[in-house]
Amino acid sequence: MSSSEEKKAQVFDKSKVTVIFVLGGPGAGKGTQCANLVNDLGFCHLSAGDLLRAEQNREGSEYGEMIRTYIKEGQIVPMEVTIKLLENAMNAALAEGLPGEGWADGKGRFLIDGFPRKMDQAQKFDNEVCECSLVLFFTTTEEEMLKRLLKRGETSGREDDNEESIKKRFRVYKEQTMPVIEHYTKLHKAATIDATATIEEVHQKAKAVVEEVFSGQVNRNITA
Ligand code: UDP
Ligand code: MG
């Protein structure tokens, strides 16, 4: 048996399906920047948090209450649930297809926002679902993130956009998500982008980094 056969096959073929993880603290601007990148490069944008909230609200879901509790406490939902939701959403997008050359002949490109937030998720997804090509890492100060989240909380209706939940999310981010970013930095897959500037400035930097992935220049750490 060759070594490639010994390894369990991944769900998606990396030569066709490009996965970019988007990380950064709560309120760093991941969702906003993903929405902009979708238009530039024809991505399917999947937010792990949005998928979890949709599952939480889905009638008949056996996970609804569990998800609600984890989100309110800023804790990471057990990875099997989140990974299954992502996998289902990826399959649906690939079955339907999107416009543009990035989706021709069974190909697809995904921005996976707010995931993986914990090492176990990162390893399982890379090994069993689809190995990521790049990690966009948006960084800014906790003070700035708190300000943005409290502002968002005025209208978001999110149960975790309050000061108490936000503090818990910051702690989980430092303890569990920072090791993920260090892991990808060691693999030379992390692109660190200062997200303190204006939305448009950050967008231009992120766009330039992502374009490099599709021109074949992966595997290097970038700071923009
Ligand atoms: N969450 C999770 N696993 C994930 C992504 C999100 O459990 O892989 C939960 C977690 O409780 C997190 C919440 O969903 O605090 C909100 O995540 P989201 O990405 O929506 O928040 P953001 O970072 O955008 O403020
Ligand atoms: Mg978000």
Q: In the prediction, which pLDDT does 215 show?
A: 86
Largest CA distance in the chain: 58
Instruction: Quote the pTM value.
Output: 0.93
pLDDT exceeds 70 at position 105: yes
Q: How far apart are CA 173 and CA 210, in angstroms?
A: 24
Query: Dihedral (C-alpha) 28, 31, 33, 34: value to the nearest 10 degrees?
Result: 140
Q: What sign does the CA torsion over 214, 215, 218, 224 have? A: negative
- List the beta bridge partners of residue 120: none
pLDDT digits (tens, 9 = 90+) for 168-187: 999 999 999 999 999 999 99
User: Of the given ranges (113-127, 168-182, 209-223), which has the lowest mean pLDDT?
Assistant: 209-223
- Write out the binding residues: 27-32, 53, 75-77, 114-117, 121, 152, 158, 169, 197
Point out the ligand 1 atom lying closest to the alpha carbon of residue 121.
8
Cα 122 to ligand 1 centre (Å): 14
Q: In this predicted model, what pLDDT tens digit does every residue of 186-200 receive, in sequence order?
A: 999 999 999 999 999
The domain segmentation of the chain, as residue ranges, is 3-223
Class (C level, CATH) for 3-223:
alpha beta
CA distance 93 to 210: 20
- The predicted model gives 131-135 an average pLDDT of 97
Dump pLDDT digits (tens) for 137-165: 999 999 999 999 999 999 999 999 999 99
